[in-house]
Structure 1
């Protein structure tokens, strides 16, 4: 796909409101065209009889998600029953559970790291919690590569604690909100986009640097976006749309361009407190390897479209088994290099009932280019 940007939707806690979510997505796609994927953070399943009834329609195939949907695991004991394994699997057509933690990579090269659940305060941890070993394994699997520069997207259910440093204060209880371990994870993985939920709030932080000015080589910026609950009565934003060209396909000079509103790294501020750093640091010594899966997100697949989104375990050398034993299947002819197309955060408010009108009026003047 070269420099062709992917069109991605991100969503906060669904809590079983599948019909409301997918109806909204269908309306958006009818106006704007097909999106490549929908990424859901926070609680996907609900606990009410109505939520269970809706899920059964998708599970049995009576209804189908209108876009390839990737979800995180349970964040509460009540929803654990919806996940029969900690490994990722397809739960229904077009709805895939990513797993406890790991990395998946599309045919385009888009790399997404993910961690399900909440931070465990002790071990052994229940199924809806993650541990320091989970985070260590995830970090090691990525940073052990000498060419590692960061990931395109990081998905966590919990917020990173202190992300609001050097930026506006979100409408949450900052004394108890978030996980320090997630902050450390985000600092190490340097995601271009980091999505989280669980707090019922919408918060888009200013982009922040991943380097110290005049002391380190310039690196790309990171953006943190927290999303609210689907169909929340306060009409807080729960859907976010953006275009993204995978990092591996971007010219390095384009990748590290700094927007005017960039701030310092909020997590390094917290790390200056040695006591805090000791509490939040987790070892990156060799642990159980994080799961790495490869997804074919190419648009031009012809009759193979039903196979898109099914996991193929990596054999350890960065290629899927399909790529090793059928290399021509994913071969892409080289095209003349084009300038990367603009990527950036939400260019229209998806939670607004007036989204279509707004787009018609201002789509030509309100698109911002972000790297």
Structure 2
């Protein structure tokens, strides 16, 4: 039996508010089940720490889950840490140390660096120096099989965190943070990098750890800066203070601690589809739908051949009701979309193909998930990703890889225009559209000589077929797909 996913909470500056911190942890666990550990970045102790801390240090009170903290960031906090190399501070509260690697029984690897960047040598007890960073890098990079750590914990941000990424709001990332930490993160290639100290929440879009077409592909990194715990001046933002991440199948599932996500035991009110503002070619009840192209109908979704498809078995997954994008879907619709993706993966694999799915939520009013098969022996997943990224760069489109365990609802809000690619391996690429965007971009990449080799079919309007031909293609697909069609067994 597979081990259950490791569940990890991460929080920002505690500043001595231990009751607020652990009260929130208990509330989260009461709603969402038990977590395995809590990781604290930033300043754990503050000016009002002593009275609360004395109760935990004496054993009168106990942290509800194993809690791992970083060291002092200022001279006043140094006295709280009796051993610079790390130690148990109280029951269930452990100081990791000045720098190093924590590796649990699960195999999770957490690299950590305590303090702020030193302005002089030797570095004081609340700071780190270039020597500390160099020694930490050397100890980890010496392993020939090293490909990156799971988590990097630092208190300061890396300098220039928003470079080539999304805006950090009012935070001046060119001035705040540490250049040494930027260098450390680039070398250790963490899947997640948590930091604090700036009293603001910021989640940078994921970034690649390899040069496209020049280096072997590696996982992407996500930098997440966390706001402080329980700040009375920021009650409206308090939900952003703690976020949790499941580091296996559910890795990257982020939500505010006061929110709710799919899979919670409490029922959610079903989201009602919005009504189209005019005639819709894809609402199944609409008279505009070309029903001769429909090949499968489920409870909430249906499959139809693409009009002017790249290939005869180019299909669309479409919600029966009117939804603008994947981000707007109700849980029931999401579940059936997932079933159709699984069925299509099995179907195309039986024919020696893999599928590429893409969505363009831009200048469209009804969700269309385009599913295009590609021969297994013709293109690898890396070929497909590199083709999309290379052509995006040519058109000055920032296409980022996001973790396969990350739900797209984590990186974009409803109503935001975007372009999204997903392989049947779970690998994903994402672009947030901020201006103009080429309408046929997804088809152009797949039709290119590097992939399907049918560049003349990039524009669907140039691929029109007679109705009789479309009906024959639909009958053939419906017949072949029948053994895989879960809707027929309902």
TM-score by length of 2: 0.53
Q: Residues 140 and 44 of structure 1: is their aligned pair in 2 closer, same or farther, counting only changes over 3 Å?
A: same
Match of 1:141 among 139, 142, 157: 139
Deviations along 1:70-129, one digit per CA (max 9) or x if unpaired, are 000000111111011211100000000000000010111100000000011210111100
Alignment-derived partner of residue 369 in structure 1? 405
Matched, 1:79 2:77: yes
How far apart are residue 18 of structure 1 and its match? 0.3
- Taking the aligned partners of 1:355 and 1:46, their CA distance within structure 2 comes to 31
Matches within 5 A, 1:21-100: 21-48=21-48, 51-100=49-98
Deviations along 1:177-207, one digit per CA (max 9) or x if unpaired, are 1101100000000000000000001001111
Note if contact 1:74-1:117 (Cα within 8 Å) is conserved in structure 2.
yes
Matched, 1:211 2:210: yes
Note if contact 2:161-2:173 (Cα within 8 Å) is conserved in structure 1.
no
- Taking the aligned partners of 2:62 and 2:71, their CA distance within structure 1 comes to 20
Note if contact 1:2-1:108 (Cα within 8 Å) is conserved in structure 2.
no
CA root-mean-square deviation: 2.3
Structure number with the bigger relative contact order (C-alpha 8 A, sep ≥ 6) is 1
Note if contact 1:72-1:116 (Cα within 8 Å) is conserved in structure 2.
yes
- Taking the aligned partners of 1:220 and 1:358, their CA distance within structure 2 comes to 26
- Taking the aligned partners of 1:87 and 1:27, their CA distance within structure 2 comes to 32
Q: Residues 94 and 182 of structure 1: is their aligned pair in 2 closer, same or farther, counting only changes over 3 Å?
A: same
Note if contact 2:262-2:331 (Cα within 8 Å) is conserved in structure 1.
no
Note if contact 1:31-1:356 (Cα within 8 Å) is conserved in structure 2.
no
Alignment-derived partner of residue 270 in structure 1? none
Q: Residues 173 and 73 of structure 1: is their aligned pair in 2 closer, same or farther, counting only changes over 3 Å?
A: same
Note if contact 1:9-1:241 (Cα within 8 Å) is conserved in structure 2.
yes
List alignment gaps of at least 5 residues for structure 2: 270-329, 336-403, 407-426, 428-490
- Taking the aligned partners of 1:47 and 1:157, their CA distance within structure 2 comes to 18
- Taking the aligned partners of 1:6 and 1:364, their CA distance within structure 2 comes to 24
Deviations along 1:20-76, one digit per CA (max 9) or x if unpaired, are 01001001111111100000000001112xx21111111101110001000000001
Q: Residues 2 and 155 of structure 1: is their aligned pair in 2 closer, same or farther, counting only changes over 3 Å?
A: farther
Secondary structure of the residue aligned to 2:82 is: coil
- Taking the aligned partners of 2:15 and 2:63, their CA distance within structure 1 comes to 16
Match of 2:242 among 239, 255, 260: 239
Matches within 5 A, 1:1-371: 4-48=4-48, 51-170=49-168, 171-232=170-231, 233-235=233-235, 236=237, 237-245=240-248, 341-346=249-254, 348-350=255-257, 352=258, 360=266, 361=268, 364=331, 369-370=405-406
How far apart are residue 356 of structure 1 and its match? 8.6
Note if contact 2:160-2:174 (Cα within 8 Å) is conserved in structure 1.
no
Alignment-derived partner of residue 328 in structure 1? none
How far apart are residue 342 of structure 1 and its match? 3.3
Note if contact 1:197-1:227 (Cα within 8 Å) is conserved in structure 2.
yes
- Taking the aligned partners of 2:5 and 2:193, their CA distance within structure 1 comes to 18
- Taking the aligned partners of 2:260 and 2:6, their CA distance within structure 1 comes to 21
Secondary structure of the residue aligned to 1:210 is: coil
How far apart are residue 165 of structure 1 and its match? 1.0
- Taking the aligned partners of 2:69 and 2:89, their CA distance within structure 1 comes to 10
Alignment-derived partner of residue 331 in structure 1? none
User: Computing the radius of gyration over CA atoms, which structure comes out larger, 1 or 2?
Assistant: 2
TM-score by length of 1: 0.69
How far apart are residue 149 of structure 1 and its match? 0.3
Secondary structure of the residue aligned to 1:160 is: coil
List alignment gaps of at least 5 residues for structure 1: 246-340
- Taking the aligned partners of 2:225 and 2:59, their CA distance within structure 1 comes to 31
Deviations along 1:252-277, one digit per CA (max 9) or x if unpaired, are xxxxxxxxxxxxxxxxxxxxxxxxxx
- Taking the aligned partners of 2:253 and 2:12, their CA distance within structure 1 comes to 15
How far apart are residue 2 of structure 1 and its match? 5.5
- Taking the aligned partners of 2:263 and 2:199, their CA distance within structure 1 comes to 25
How far apart are residue 151 of structure 1 and its match? 0.1
Deviations along 1:122-163, one digit per CA (max 9) or x if unpaired, are 101111000111111111111101000000000000000111
How far apart are residue 174 of structure 1 and its match? 2.6
